[in-house]
Amino acid sequence: MKAPVRSLSKDQLVWLGTNKCKHGHTFLEHYACYMNEEMHSDERVGFLDIECSGLKANFAIMLSYCIKVRGEKKIYSDFLTKKDAETHLDARIVKNCIKDLTENFDRVIGHYSKRFDIPFLRTRALILNLDFPQFGEMYHTDTWDIARKKLCLSSNRQGVIAEAITGEDIKTRIDQKHWIPALQGNKEAMEYILDHNMRDVHQLEANYEKLRVFAKVTKSSI
C-alpha cells in the first residue's frame, strides 16, 4: 500500500518519513503498517481460543477458554471443574468467557474462529439462555481468512502457519488420556488442556503480528 502523498500535509509526510514500524522501515515506506497500527490504536484487542468436547454445540460443551491481551502477558481464562461436570456443565465457563470478552475487548482475533469458536460460543450461550454480543457490538478478525487469501501453504492450520512464518509450532497434542478425564472435570487433565489453550493464543498472536500488514483491518462484526 502506497502512502497518499498528494493528500498529506508536510508535517504528516515528515512524521511518516521519520518514524518507523516494527519491521524497521519508515511508515512512508510501509504505509500499510501505519494504517493497521492507526486503526488498532484505540481498540482493546484480544486473542481468543476455546477448547470443546466436540465440534457441534448442541452435542458438546466448552472445556476451557483463553483470551490474551494484545502485547501483554495478561490472559483471561477458565476451565471445567469437577463440580461443573456434575451440575451445570459449561454454563459457568460460557458466562465467564462472554463477560471477559465484553468487559475487556473491542476486537477479538481468532483462527478459524469465524467458522468455529464464535459460532460455538454463541450457540452455547443461546442454549444456556445467556446474553451474547449482538451485531456491531464487537469486531472480529480471523487469521485463517488472512492466511487463505495471502499465503500459499500446504495447510492453513495454525501450527502449519506458525512453523512457516515464525519457525516454530509451539502447540501441544491433546490425546485420549487427557480428553476423557477432562470431560469428568479431572483437574490434572484440565490443567493440561488449559496449557494447550494458552499456547494456542500465544501462537495466534505471533501469527497475527506477522500477517496483519498484508490485510486491511475491517469492521467485521463478531
Query: What mean pLDDT is reported for the chain?
Result: 90
User: If pLDDT is split at 50, 70 and 90, which confidence band does 176 have?
Assistant: confident
Distance CA 30, CA 185 (A): 49
Residues 187 and 199 in one domain: yes
- DSSP alpha helices (H): ranges in 25-116? 31-40, 82-86, 91-104
Distance CA 199, CA 187 (A): 18
Structural domain boundaries, residue 58: 44-214
Whether 220 is in a domain gets the answer no
Distance CA 170, CA 200 (A): 8
Residues 145 and 117 in one domain: yes
Distance CA 211, CA 23 (A): 12
Residues 2 and 77 in one domain: no
Whole-Å CA distances, 220 to 135, 173, 180: 9, 32, 36
Residues 9 and 55 in one domain: no
- DSSP alpha helices (H): ranges in 114-175? 117-127, 143-150, 158-165
Distance CA 77, CA 170 (A): 19
> Where does residue 72 rank: exposed (0-12), middle (13-18), buried (19+ CB within 10 A)?
exposed
Choice among 50-54, 142-146, 178-182 with the minimum mean pLDDT? 178-182
Choice among 8-17, 32-41, 83-92, 159-168 with the minimum mean pLDDT? 32-41
Residues 24 and 119 in one domain: no
Whether 2 is in a domain gets the answer yes
What is the average per-residue pLDDT within 114-128? 98
Residues 193 and 180 in one domain: yes
Distance CA 80, CA 90 (A): 7
Whether 219 is in a domain gets the answer no
Q: Which residue has the higher pLDDT, 27 or 189?
A: 189
**What are 80's three cell numbers?**
471445567
pLDDT at 72: 94
Residues 27 and 122 in one domain: no
Residues 48 and 129 in one domain: yes
pTM: 0.82
Residues 119 and 15 in one domain: no
**What are 199's three cell numbers?**
499456547
Residues 36 and 71 in one domain: no
Distance CA 3, CA 35 (A): 10
What is the tally of structural domains in the chain? 2
Whether 88 is in a domain gets the answer yes
What pairing do the DSSP bridges indicate for beta strands 45-52 and 107-110?
A: parallel
- Alpha-carbon Rg for the chain, nearest whole angstrom, is 19
**What are 162's three cell numbers?**
506458525
User: If pLDDT is split at 50, 70 and 90, which confidence band does 36 have?
Assistant: low
